[in-house]
């Protein structure tokens, strides 16, 4: 079963419905104490980095997620959830993240492209052994909604990149059971469902 963390950051129901459509049992809960009973955890999210981290800390999810990973269990961050995995963010000031993936969340800056990025864009797969993109062709299209992007310190954690606002940014992360995507797989039609299916079957 999959545990979907409810820390008030929204988008929970659509993620839950996507797993339900795939026939994957999933539970939504705001109780961090329940997380230890699951092999897989999803951290979805829509909103701002700072308030999201405050909620994770207040509800006890910060330590629960770290303990989950220390046990060798897998986790998937979606959109804001991906950004929270990094060391910190520059969104509306400097904020500390979970520091699961060393790196920084940066703001898009462009004089030509309208920010935030809202809509469909392709993902260039960086790894032949990718788990998340298994059975998907390179340059598959996914749905994005974001003004900030992840910049991991280590290139070997990057599973896919996407181009926007003159920047070829990291749009997916995979390393040692830690998975994350900047796009919304639950809103990305068949390609997105395949990503969720791949995570669930890992």
Active site residues: 79, 184, 186
Helices (H) and strands (E) in the chain, counts: 5, 13
Give the number of C-alpha atoms closer than 13 A to the C-alpha of residue 80, restricted to the C-beta side. 21
Distance CA 169, CA 158 (A): 10
Contact 117, 145 (CB under 8 A): yes
The DSSP-derived string for 9-44 is -S-HHHHHHHHHHHT--EEEES-GGGGGG-SEEEE-
Distance CA 3, CA 16 (A): 9
What stretches of the chain show up as alpha helix (H) in DSSP? 12-22, 49-59, 61-70, 80-84, 189-201
């Amino acid at each position: 079963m999959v545990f979907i963390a409810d820390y008030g950051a929204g988008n929970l129901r659509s993620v839950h419905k996507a797993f339900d459509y795939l026939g994957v049992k999933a539970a939504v809960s705001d109780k961090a104490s329940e997380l230890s009973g699951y092999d897989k955890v999803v951290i979805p999210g829509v909103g701002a980095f700072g308030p999201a981290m405050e909620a994770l800390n207040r509800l006890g999810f910060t330590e629960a997620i770290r303990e989950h990973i220390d046990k060798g269990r897998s986790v998937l961050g979606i959109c804001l959830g991906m950004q929270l995995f990094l060391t910190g963010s520059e969104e509306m000031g400097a904020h500390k993240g979970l520091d699961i993936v060393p790196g920084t969340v940066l703001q898009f800056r462009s004089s030509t492209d309208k920010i935030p990025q809202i809509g469909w864009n392709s993902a260039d797969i960086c790894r032949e052994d990718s788990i998340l993109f298994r059975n998907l062709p390179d340059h598959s299209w996914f749905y994005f909604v974001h003004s900030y992007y992840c910049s991991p310190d280590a290139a070997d954690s990057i599973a896919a990149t996407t181009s926007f606002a003159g920047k070829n940014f990291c749009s997916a992360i995979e390393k040692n059971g830690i998975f994350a995507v900047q796009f919304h797989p639950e809103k990305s039609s068949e390609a997105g469902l395949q990503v969720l299916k791949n995570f669930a079957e890992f």
